[in-house]
Amino acid sequence: MEITRKVQAGTLQSSDLMIFLEPADALVIEIESTVKAQFEHLIRARIEAVLERHGVRAGRVRITDRGALDYAIEARMETALKRAKEA
């Protein structure tokens, strides 16, 4: 799928994360996290897996993480993608 509009999903509560998604020519993922040092690579891997599953090759993804677990990262990313393709 293609990201055609700017959307956001998630919250800034603890154990959650906020995702900003917008159109871009290439795929860029930027991660801000309270646990960045230990977990950035895992968050990135999880985000990439969801993007891959939905066939997303381009777009700017900005994440502000508050210690979200995998199920929440996946859910918020899916919500963002769903919102990005809704008219």
Partner 1 sequence: MNGFRLRRTLLYVPGNMPSMLQNIPIFQCDGVMIDLEDAVPLSEKDAARILVRSFLENYRERNKELLVRINPLDSPRGFDDLKEVLPALPDGIRLPKADTPEIVETLDTLLTEYEEELGLELGRFSILPSIESAEGIINCVKIARSSPRLIGLAFGAEDFTASLEIERTKTGEELFHARTRVVWAAKAVGIQAIDTIFADAGDMEGLRRETELIKKLGLTGKSLVNPRQIEVIHEVFAPKQEEIDYALQVIEAIGKAREMGTGVASLGGKMVDAPVVKRALRVLKTAQAHGMVDVELDEEVIYGKE
How long is the chain? 87
Q: How far is CA 56 from CA 61, 65, 87, in A?
A: 11, 21, 17
Residues 47-76 that bind partner 1 (CB under 8 A): 68-72, 74-76
- Bridge partners (DSSP) of residue 18 are 10, 64
Q: Which of 3, 10, 65, 84 binds partner 1 (CB under 8 A)?
A: 10
How distant is the alpha carbon of residue 28 from its chain centre? 10
Q: Which of 39, 62, 78, 85 binds partner 1 (CB under 8 A)?
A: 78
Distance of alpha carbon 9 from alpha carbon 24, whole angstroms: 18
Q: Is 13 in the site for partner 1 (CB under 8 A)?
A: yes
Name which position in 1, 6, 15, 41 contacts partner 1 (CB under 8 A): 15
Q: Which residues bind partner 1 (CB under 8 A)?
A: 9-11, 13-16, 68-72, 74-76, 78-79, 82-83
